[in-house]
Amino acid sequence: MTNNGTFTIGGDLTVNRIGYGTMQIVGPGYWGEPRDRSEAIAVLRRAVELGVNFIDTADAYGPFVAEDLIREALHPYRDDLVIATKGGVLRTGPDEWPPLGRPEYLRQALEMSLRRLGVDHVDLYQLHRIDPVVPLEDSLGELARMQKEGKIRHIGLSEVSVAEIEAARPVADVVSVQNMYNLSARGAEDVLEHTRTAGMAFIPWFPMATGELARPGGVLAAAADRHGVTPAQLALSWLLHRAPNVIPIPGTSRIAHLEENVAAATVSLSPAEVAELTALVR
């Protein structure tokens, strides 16, 4: 996993640029236990074996299930393994994610994540969503206080605009942004550019448009055939070439898909090929 290099988050967390997102290892609707718990454990362990050293999760995945699986699979953690988690949404049922950014709730969420993961601090703790009824300075201010207490190493935001990133600057040192972004969903283009110029990590979730970009016979299939790779690998490679601060976090519950995704780091694209793919999918 060296062809597309590394990125250093917050100045001191150097990670390989294909991470692993844990949304897919829990139950349907991101609710409950996985279909096959032993396979979920095996996928997490295989990811680390393949050189993945950035794992993204959240207390909401399950809820709580993904963090438990990470600890079961990987604790005690390798020194170079960076685990990012999130707090700031409730889970009221499958596919339901109402935001809750009250400071006391965020403190509870972090304390429980620390306990489930078996750590004394979180490498990267991300505000899962901005709560529209709680001032951002209250939510983010609580994360900044917990950072000063040594419970958070770095702070990130999720699903935010450039204006919201700028509003966060006086409150906390934000080192990463996680927004939905892929070849077919590029609404966060301005956020990506903003993070690139600011030296922040940009972590695109749903990097393959929930599998649509990887579909055999889909829009990427012919281009993938020309490169001798799969559509999924081409979609991930495009993200890696899009900007040096991009850290895709494809998720899967299958080892074969995991190995395919990680191998995308070896796919090389010319600037012309990147431009061709950008124009191909709109």
Catalytic positions are 61
List, edge to edge, every strand of the sheet that includes 174-178.
Answer: 20-21, 54-56, 82-87, 122-127, 152-158, 174-178, 201-202
Rounded Cα–Cα distance for residues 257 and 260 (Å): 5
- Residue 261's nearest CA partner among 6, 20, 57, 14 is 20
d(CA 172, CA 160): 15
Q: Across the strands, what pairs with 89?
A: 99
Bridge partners (DSSP) listed for residue 185: 182
The tokens describing 242, both together, are 């899009």
CA-nearest of 238, 210, 212, 211 to 223 is 238
Residue (of 264, 225, 221) closest to 242 by Cα position: 264
